[in-house]
Amino acid sequence: MKVVITEKPSVARDIAKVLKITDKKNGYIEGRGCAITWAFGHLVTLQEPGEYDPALQRWSLDTLPFVPDEFRLKLISNRGVDEQFGVIKRLCEEAEEIVCATDAGREGELIFRYILALSNCEEKPIRRLWLNSLTPDAIEEAFKNLKDGHEYDALYAAARCRSESDWIVGLNATRYHTVRHGRIGGGDDRVLWSVGRVQTPVLAMIVQRDDEIDQFRAKPFWELTTQYRDVTFKYTGDRFQTLENAQPLLEKITGQPFEITGVGGKKKTEQPPQLFDLTTLQREVNKAHGLSAADTLAATQTLYESKLVTYPRTDSRYLNKDMQPRIPKIFQGLEKIRGEQIAHLNLADLPFTKRIIDDKKVTDHHAIIPTGILPGNLGGNEQIVYSAVVTQFIAAFYPECVKNITTVDGVSAEVEFQAKGTQIIEPGWTALFPKKKKKDDDQELPDFQKGEAGPHEPDLREGKTKPPQAFSENSLLGAMEAAGKWVDDDSLREALKERGIGTPATRAAIIETLLRRNYIRREKKQIRATDMGRCLIALIQDPLLKSPEMTGEWEEKLKQIERSELNDADFMGGISDYIRGVIETGRTGQLDLNRVGACPRCGKEVIKGKTAYGCSGWKEGCKFVLNPVYKNLTLTANQVQVMLQMRVLPYPVHIGDETRLLILSTQGDLMDLRLPSADRQKSEKKKARPAKG
């Protein structure tokens, strides 16, 4: 008998329908020498420390770090899991061959292999069903091309390393910081400080961005402009920092004629957008409609299971060469709902450029595209996502957008000005998208002639420098994809994908985990750190534990394991050595009484001055200064030392009428925070688990 294991009951039903297997049993569908059964996502997980040794149920620094010599598995404790696993185990024991039909990716492989391991059926022959969509044609073709399951051993090795490394870092770091700092707010109850291999660097990015915003001080500036023939011309020099410096130029040109000295133009083409991967889809939908990354993923998964779009958890924006013949048929299927847009395409001669077809840039799955099957009634989120996927798919095959960029130079009393305007010659793909709000450089220009002159209206515009923008889910996903770097350019993001934080499949869950644990909060479209989140980042002494770059390097190594370019044992050995170093350094770490501390901005030594503490690198331009007087509190020399070496006073202080926690921000300024509440976390500590990442 052949046994097929899927990730969800709905997928099992889809496969059974295609294979014409109809005999429904308790927990599986049987027929034609085949049994199709299902998991409920993850059925099997890693055991807890107390299951290795009852003494480890107690949280203590003396038992850390704990790294099992060999990880053990157990069933997750959810309703119905025991019964369904019993069905799967019995079928696997009876099977002559087992087919893995879980989601075709890292986590799907882990679900299947963990089930095999706990069933003691790892020696059975296994095959792999690799699906890019759940349409009947795709299922039928995939069954004709079943792969040897062991061709995916490297994928399983990477999945297992992800699971075990998250367990090692998350469990040990969470226990260490909870035991060491859990009573920071006073009282008998401990606060659970949840730390993770991926979630903590993401939190650190948000805290740092918020610190940059909170400590930003707007500076005024003045721009010299003039109006000539209803067009705004800007002074070609730098903007002015003071009104006194700007006023003489304004007076110089007031009442003087304005002359056009040159008119130039050049054509600019904008390439059509590339197809969606999951992260880009999440970002675009968040920007346009405000949907969270988690809601977008859930909607795309529903569309996938409804056979309307291809596999969602992909990091590729390209299609395989063998997809090329299928594309015209997909367009034909969409003509009933997008006929007017598709009519502009020649389906017999579509432009299959390297921006669309590139086998080298398709890993596990190709880009997210529609299947051509038309939807029925969709929910609100599903309709938004489906419309975005279809529009992007059509736009990728549309012509370039051609613009004419006109530059007009002018002068008044030897003071030079310039105006720019944009004229759309061929809208191309941009016709499919809403028109963007016009910028100053997009103004419509009349037909200027070189040498013409006339009166003008000069003016000084006053403005203020703006702080960095708070993270939205759109920009946070982009920073996670590029390992913390602020990157908007498509090609640069593509180059940094190998070193992103998390994977397209897990980034939404990481954000939701931080929200659930009250380390971040949503403020309309913004994502900001809470006081608890700030406090946790201040408490974590090891810089690598909150480093996006380090986490990006780990993720890159997991991808190397997937490609059999790195030994999984070497990776896990490095993770184990790392967490041992974190615990040992934390256990033995004491204040260095011979130094004040390191500058939080540049890392150089801090020295004591007459009234304050400053960075020894001031000659190189570092402006860090720490005034020991904060509100009504005067810090002692020892407290300053603690702040600079630990970034936090590990006990509450009285500021005004309140008991607060004092920390040193990532930008080097003192901040006081509300004390975290332990009561709210009692139930969470009882069921504490190291999170994915």
DSSP 312: S
- Do the Cβ atoms of 208 and 192 come closer than 8 Å? no
- Do the Cβ atoms of 296 and 285 come closer than 8 Å? yes
Reference 549, options 615, 478, 496, 603; nearest CA is 496
Q: What is the DSSP string of 10-66?
A: HHHHHHHHHHT--EEETTEEEETTEEEEE--S--EEEPPHHHH-GGGGS--GGG-S-
Q: Which residues contact 430 (CB under 8 A, 6 or more apart)?
A: 270, 401, 424
Catalytic residue among 228, 235, 311, 386: 311
Distance (Å, rounded) from C-alpha 303 to C-alpha 10? Answer: 13
How many H helices and E strands in the chain?
A: 20, 27
Question: Is the bond leading into 65 cis (omega within 30 degrees of zero)?
Answer: yes
- Does residue 519 carry a catalytic annotation? no
- Do the Cβ atoms of 316 and 323 come closer than 8 Å? no
* CB-count burial class (<10 Å; 0-12, 13-18, 19+) for 159: buried
Distance (Å, rounded) from C-alpha 415 to C-alpha 576? Answer: 66
**Helices (DSSP H) in 60-150: which residue ranges?**
81-94, 106-118, 136-144
What order do you get walking across the sheet with 258-270 strand by strand?
453-454, 258-270, 401-412, 415-426, 231-235, 220-228, 457-464
- Residue 497 has, within 13 A of its CA and on its CB side, a CA count of 19
Distance (Å, rounded) from C-alpha 515 to C-alpha 298? Answer: 17
- Cα angle 628, 630, 633; round to 5: 90
Distance (Å, rounded) from C-alpha 218 to C-alpha 92? Answer: 66
Give me the residues paired with residue 415 across strands: 412
Reference 541, options 578, 594, 593, 582; nearest CA is 582
Give the C-alpha distances (Å, rounded to integers) separating 154 from 19, 110, 179. Answer: 29, 11, 37
Q: For the chain, how big is the Rg over CA atoms in Å? A: 30
Distance (Å, rounded) from C-alpha 590 to C-alpha 586? Answer: 8
Joined together, the tokens standing for residue 680 give 């709210």
Distance (Å, rounded) from C-alpha 584 to C-alpha 225? Answer: 62
Distance (Å, rounded) from C-alpha 24 to C-alpha 87? Answer: 13
Q: What positions carry a catalytic annotation?
A: 311
